[in-house]
Amino acid sequence: METTFNKPAIESLKADIKQSSALQRALKQQRKTVNLKGERIIEPDQASWKAYIGGLELRVKYAAYGLMRGKSFSVTENHYPEENHPLNKYQNAINKCIEFHTQKVEEKVGI
Q: How far apart are CA 78 and CA 107, in angstroms?
A: 34
Apex 63 CA angle, 66 and 80, nearest 5: 100
Single pTM value for the model: 0.83
pLDDT of 5 reads 63
Residue 103 pLDDT class (50, 70, 90 cuts): confident
Residue 4 pLDDT class (50, 70, 90 cuts): low
- Reference 3, options 92, 68, 97; nearest CA is 68
Per-chain mean pLDDT for the chain: 86
pLDDT digits (tens, 9 = 90+) for 30-69: 888 777 777 788 888 999 999 999 999 999 999 999 999 8
pLDDT of 61 reads 95
pLDDT of 28 reads 86
Residue 88 pLDDT > 60? yes
